[in-house]
Structure 1
Amino acid sequence: MAKTSSTPLTVDLLWQLQRIGAPSLSADGAQVVCSVTQPSMQDNRTASSLWLLSTLGGEPRQLTQCGDKDGQPRFSPTGEWIAFVAKREQNGVKDETPQLYLIPPDGGEARRAGVVPTGVDAFKWFPDGQRLALISWVWPEGRGMKDQAARLKAFKERKETAYITDAAVYRHWDDNLPMGRVPHVLVLEVATGKVTDVLEGTDYELQRREPGAADLSISPDGQRIAFVHDPARGQHPAPRMALAEIELKGSARKAVRDLVKHADWDFNAPSYSPDSLSLAFLASHQAKKHTMPQQLAVLDLADKRARWEVISAEWDREPQAPLLWSEDASALLFVAEEQGRSHVWRFDVAHREPSVVAQGGTIHGFDTAAACLVTLTDRAAHPGRLHAQGVDDRGVRLGQEAERIETFNDKLLANVALGSTEEHWVTGAKGEKVQVWLHFPPGFDRKKKYPLLHTIHGGPHTGPGDCWHWRWNYLVFAAQGYVTANVNYHGSSGFGHAFLDSITHQWGALELQDMEAATDWLLKKPWIDRQRVFATGGSYGGYMVAWMNAHVKPGRYKAYICHAGCFDWVGMFADDAYGWHAQELGAWYWNDMAKAHSQSPHAFAASMQTPTLVIHGAKDYRVPDAQGLAYYNTLKAKGVDAKLVWFPDENHWILKPRNSALWYQEFFDWLKRHDPAATPKRTAAKKPASKR
């Protein structure tokens, strides 16, 4: 008789699992390189190395071991090198900033490809494999790498600590953007290590919020670089990007010109076609509405009038960067969400028809070359895995099933009892169907009763479902004995634009109806204990639990957990996304305070009575920690049972292993503290005495 699994999925086990990065295929489609991150709870850190895998069979091979954060690996088009970004020590010189390294795929020592004083954020290979385009934050008035190095040295040696700026875009997630610097495109020559800033002396700069490899495309002849740039140069709080093109002579700039630029539109993710006749990109008509989706667009490069058109206007889904052309230039491949899952899609350019090439779960990365497609896919039931499958030169999937090409986490998970996951639909706000994902405890017995745990997603315009979440792992929650629910409320992505846009200017209203409809539906199940219902959420999900605390009758939910939640939309103006507040809420707060307050939990604090655990990180610039502190302080002042977990060294997410373990511990302890089946009923906290 086969041995049954009995080990539950614990937080400790979660932090032993390896985390796979996005894949890169060799030109012949035979090999894949990816980064693999190994967390260490003992050392309280994570380290990543590069691994080689075969699409033809065979054991994976570790390629790098000496690095700490080896990442973003990409095969060269000629197959001679794998380039990656890392901070290392070579010949006695330790990198102060991330640099580009090269290593042969058959092994050997990695070597620094060149010296970029201001560091390398991302890169892309030229088709000839002799050059790379880099992204680096440089001083725009600087001239040459020696000058940049001198400026960096002077900046580091300064005695002052103030951050000074006149830009509208100056911080993102958990970082102040480099003071006085802008992101440029640099060209590095493999043979000599020479580095040239090809935007030096121009007014062009890339977007300031997370410029990456998807912001660049290099023409098949290697003579042009299309790139995303910010016409407002950081002076607009909700910027709309344009596309420009650098014409090269060798590694030097010959000219630079605008390709696609319109004040009403936002453009990104350029991609030259293999025949050099077209440039594909993503376009969003922001002047029409700020929630307008990204749509596929194509520029005819042979047309001197620079005409472009949207080709996916009839398809109510949103493509995501990057865009990869099929070998015959007939179609584009990309990832897009579809009702709680994300797939790799093929969009036929001529017929304007989408079709699924590789199914999720949730696909986090993919690459294609030589009739092979490799995907990084996770599901609620397992962390990321790499699969390879055949595609023809049109990008059409060939008949055989995708084959898994690694087993990194199989041994650790072999004897772990994982609960099951189900997809359901309930009637929510406006009489429309709303998706609900349920994750059940291992050994779930429908004859027994279980507590209900809502985990409310952030965004609000995201749409999680069949995915593995490292920070909010649904099966870890379920392993504690909770039926765990994820509701894709109105406003979620992946269900069409009308559904996503429905909450605009009335945040909280429809989402609450959806949450309550899901709770009502679940409370009718004989296996849900009506007295043990909890709601938790992060970011916009944190906003929602604060909103529920003010708008749901006390007692329906025994306790809330608010992680990095929005509490006060006026105070939230300190965030890094303040430029979108009026678009989402319907007005700037100074023009219509009533409108802002009508969607702000803090304005309804008088009715808040439900015990709440508040969690926040001090380095959170998306939802500044004053939001969590104000919520906690409000509850304490009202005499509501509350607890604060504040991390001075974490951002919007809790990333350090030990901090994450503590996060889960406090999360579960709070639920047990307010679980009638786990502890005696607590007496209500006394309200503070009024001053006379």
Structure 2
Amino acid sequence: MSNKVFDVEALWALARLGEPSLSPDGSEVVASVTRYDMESNQSRSSLYRFSTLGQEPKRLTECGDKDGAPQWSPDGEHIAFIARREQGGMKDDEPQLYLLPTDGGEARRAGHVPTGVVAFRWLPDSRRIVLVSWVWPEHKTMDAQAKALKSFKERKETAYVTSDTLYRHWDHHVPMGRVPHLLLLDTRSGKVSDLFAGTGYELTRTDPGLSHFAVSPSGRKLAFVFDPAQEKRVENCHALAELDLKSQDIQVLLQDEDWDFGAPAYSHAGQHLAFLAAHRGLKHTMPEQLAVLDTQGQWAVLSGEWDRSVTAPLRWADDDLSIRFTAEDQGRRHLWRFDLNSRQAQREFEGGNATAFDAKGGAVVVLHDSVQFPARLSVLTTGTPRRIESINDPILASHAFGRHQEVTLKGAQGDPVQMWLIYPPGFNPRKKHPVMHVIHGGPHTAFGDSWHWRWNHQVFANQGHVVACVNYHGSSSFGHAFLDSITHRWGQLELQDVEAGTDWLLQQPWVDAKRITATGGSYGGYMVAWMNGHVKPGRYQTYVCHAGCYDWQAMFATDGYTWFPKELGASYWDDPKHVASQSPHTFAKHFRTPTLVIHGAMDYRVPDAQGLAYYNTLKAQGVDARLVWFPDENHWILKPRNSRLWYGEFFAWLTRHVGPTASGRKKAKP
């Protein structure tokens, strides 16, 4: 085994694979490969062609720097992808659609979409493409859209003005005055038309994409998801509609104020539409379930007896008797095949963490990762899944990795709780080791056997820490009751679970009880702030709070402000005491533990005033604290050099408070 430390430099030297698209015959896969350069602080994405039959991979594009989202045409003659390029004397101001001949040649712009391309799907004729673009709804032609965009970009004013409830999301504002429409592009003529022009229909305003529309096998109809409410809100229930491409008529297929519908997918025969359905009328935390609609307008939930949440996309098997999807189970994400007759889900590919897949021509390809390796591509065969690329193997082979282990604790309410452990390379159980809790965000997500680019377990473990990840009450993949158990009482059960993890760790002979730390981001940041006000000082030597929620009243500045009262059980003006009882700031007088606070100014999910208020409170009370504030980062740290600084500050802070690691391995520089 190599002794070379896997650090932030090695992390950013790895290539990142995008979602795969299979050729119609299943013999080849196209996917984007993104590489980063630490010195230039830039990334570059190209398309690569991988063979499912054992041939060598081939790089397809080199001219662009952001080539992505590739899809094979149904006839196999072209690969369409989204890029910004300069071609024919025109430089793309907005992302455009390009076509690359699969038999060789240069990519060409398929047509000009003034407002840019977000996502797309081929029609079966391999000539037309349906795409998503943010347009001004009052303008019906592309010429009018181009003029409106030009005028908007040339304006001298900088204010964002709105009367909408939903106006920003994650790290960007909803384009002012624009809505996401479906457009039709003819790749031969380059003509582009707005399919929603004059209708009032639009896709969801939060990350509209492939999961919000589908093309029928005949190519005559489109199914799409829309919000029927006049006032667009994050938590609104969505409906399903169908557009006839010939007549332009739109028919609402399903609309129910208690049900949220999404991710439509036509069967190969075109007689059924699969989709996701969540019964929000029962509770806002209800899981996404697999449902099917027939041509008579009858629909039914098929996975109701399976206590797991189904994840888009949905893909029908060739015989239309089963449907594939990914879903979490016990802290892992698998590829499942759901039999429609028996209504049983069977694992087709076992994670780790299966994040994306495609199925065509009798082949199934999966993009998957693990604590032990970043995303890789494998094709499913009758035996063991077979890898079809080795793009990161040389770098991985030159570095040391620690093993990971799953343990089960007795947590809050006497329930079993999962905890993952990642050990330092060359872990010696006869020596004492520092332990670092990494508390996940969400709260309704889970830490699993997965590769994390921003909070990388192997980078942490390579510094000599045993990394502990507790999937506390509220985490996904353990059933709805477990996920919903924390609703209206945030902080209580989660803290008991993390503390149970610490109790378990303290019983291990290899744990240094004087060098235990707790770190977390987003809801994990909320948890370490909560712990600072509820756990006796000294049990944890220090905390790291990244993008942490601190004050639930002030959190009304978040992009999800209409969602939080559902989780907390009240709005702050209706029941201020109840809301405050779940807020770390209420317990500020008990803060004693040194804390590193990290936040990005472009974070709209947890606005940076949360981190600044927490840091200021610590400083005002004389608690040792350090602030790392990024003016150009969002909820995550995405730029290579900022990430290097993040890890440097992170490890320097831990070293300051728990001392150097005992592993004897190279230390990170502050």
TM norm structure 1: 0.95
SS state at 1:417 partner: coil
Q: Which residue of 1 aligns with 2:502?
A: 519
* Match in the other structure for 1:45: 42
Query: What residue number does 2:472 align with?
Result: 489
Aligned to 2:535: 552
Q: Give the corresponding residue for 2:277.
A: 283
Measure how far apart 1:236 and its partner are. Answer: 3.0
Find the counterpart in structure 1 of residue 25 from structure 2.
28
The residue matched to 2:201 in structure 1 has which SS? coil
Which whole-Å CA distance do the structure 1 matches of 2:90 and 2:156 have between them? 25
Partner of 2:668: none
Question: Which residues in structure 2 correspond to 1:616-631 (within 5 Å)?
Answer: 616-631=599-614
Q: For residue 637 of structure 1, what is the aligned residue in structure 2?
A: 620
Give the alignment partner of residue 652 of structure 2, picking from 662, 666, 669: 669
Shift of 1:233: 4.9
Residue 444 of structure 1 is matched in structure 2 by 427
Question: Per-residue CA shift, 1:137-166, capped at 9, x if unaligned?
Answer: 000100210010011111111111110111
Q: Is residue 205–residue 233 contact of structure 1 (8 Å, CA) maintained in 2?
A: no
Residue-by-residue CA offset, 1:230-287 (whole Å, 9 max, x unaligned): 11255335221111111011xxx52011111111111110001111111110011111
SS in 1 for 2:566: helix
Q: 1:183 to 1:636 in 2, by over 3 A?
A: same
Tell me what 1:358 maps to. 349
The match for 2:336 is: 345
- Give the corresponding residue for 1:98: 95
- Residue of structure 2 aligned with 1:62, choices 59, 64, 70: 59
Following TM superposition, by how much is the alpha carbon of 1:676 offset from its aligned partner in structure 2, in angstroms? 4.6
TM-superposition CA deviations, 1:161-207 (whole Å, max 9, x none):
11011111111100001000000000111111111101000111100
Q: Distance in 1 between matches of 2:409 and 2:104?
A: 54
**Corresponding position of 1:272:** 266
* 2:131/2:185 contact within 8 Å kept: yes
Aligned to 1:379: 370
Gaps of 5+ in 1: 391-398, 680-692
Aligned-partner residue type, residue 640 of structure 1:
V
Cα separation, 2, equivalents of 1:148 and 1:401: 51
Question: Could you tell me how far 1:106 is from its partner in structure 2?
Answer: 2.9
Kindly provide the amino acid, as one letter, of the partner of residue 250 in structure 2.
V
Q: Whole-Å Cα distance in 2 between the matches of residues 107 and 670 of structure 1?
A: 53
Are 1:231 and 2:231 matched, yes or no? no
- Per the alignment, residue 160 of structure 2 pairs with 163
- Does residue 1:531 correspond to 2:522, yes or no? no
Match of residue 261, structure 1, among 255, 261, 269: 255
- Partners in 2 of 1:12 and 1:555 — Cα distance? 33
Contact 1:538 1:565 in 2 (8 A): yes
Q: AA paired with 1:201?
A: G
1:518-562 Cα offsets, whole Å, 9 max, x none, are 000001100000000000000000000000000000000000000
Q: Please tell me the residue identity of whatever aligns with 2:597.
A: V
Other structure's SS at 1:281 match: strand
Indicate conservation of the 8 Å contact 1:63/1:105, yes or no: no
Give me the whole-angstrom Cα distance separating, in 1, the residues matched to 2:609 and 2:238.
31
**Contiguous gaps of at least 5 residues in structure 2:** 663-670
- 2:542 and 2:102 mapped to 1: Cα distance? 53
Contact 1:208–1:234 (Cα < 8 Å) also in 2: no
Q: Give distance in 1, aligned partners of 2:407 and 2:233.
A: 42
**Aligned counterpart, 1:596:** 579
Q: Percent identity?
A: 59
Question: Which residue matches 2:213?
Answer: 216
Q: In structure 2, how many angstroms separate the alpha carbons of the residues matched to 1:107 and 1:400?
A: 34
Tell me: CA distance 1:276–1:551, structure 2 relative to 1, closer, same or farther (3 Å). same
Mapped partners of 1:678, 1:270: distance in 2:
51
> Which of 64, 69, 72 is the matching residue for 1:72?
69
Report how many residues are paired. Answer: 662
Displacement of 1:678 in angstroms is: 7.0
Matched letter for residue 47 of structure 1: R
1:611 pairs with 2:591: no
CA distance in 2, matches of 1:381, 1:543: 28
Range 153-162 or range 552-561, more displaced: 153-162
2:240 counterpart residue number: 243
Q: 1:181 aligns with which of 155, 178, 182?
A: 178
Q: Which amino acid aligns with 2:377?
A: L
CA contact (8 A) 1:130 1:190 kept: yes
**How many angstroms apart in 1 are the aligned matches of 2:137 and 2:280?**
29
Q: 1:683 corresponds to which residue?
A: none
In structure 2, C-alpha distance between the alignment counterparts of 1:261 and 1:213, rounded to whole Å: 20
Deviations 1:349-397 (A, max 9, x none): 121110001111101110001111000010000011100013xxxxxxx
TM-score by length of 2: 0.98
Distance 1:26 1:526 in 2: 54
Instruction: Verify: 1:130 aligned to 2:124, yes or no.
Output: no
Distance in 1 of aligned mates of 2:589 and 2:234: 33
2:385 matched residue in structure 1: 402
Contact 2:290 2:302 in 1 (8 A): yes
Shift in Å, 1:575: 0.5
SS of the equivalent of 1:579 reads coil
Matched, 1:318 2:309: yes
Helix, strand or coil: the match of 2:420? strand
* Local SS of the residue matching 2:563: helix
Aligned 8 A contact 1:272 1:278 in 2: yes
The question of whether the paired residues in 2 share the 8 Å contact of 1:531 and 1:676 is answered with no
Name the aligned partner's letter for residue 279 of structure 2. H
Q: Deviations over 1:274-310 (max 9, x none)?
A: 1111111001111110000000111111x1xx22111
Separation in 2, partners of 1:125, 1:135: 12
2:11 equivalent among 2, 9, 14: 14
Which residue of structure 2 aligns with residue 685 of structure 1? none
Among 131, 151, 154, which residue is 2:151 paired with? 154
Moved more, 548-557 or 413-422: 413-422
Aligned partner of 1:389 in structure 2 is 380
- RMSD, aligned CA: 1.0
Residue 667 of structure 2 corresponds to which residue in structure 1?
Answer: none
Higher mean displacement: 10-19 or 100-109: 100-109
> Are the structure 2 counterparts of residues 651 and 677 from structure 1 closer, same or farther at C-alpha, using a change threshold of 3 Å?
closer
**Cα distance in 2 for residues equivalent to 1:194 and 1:514:** 58
* Paired letter, 1:275: A
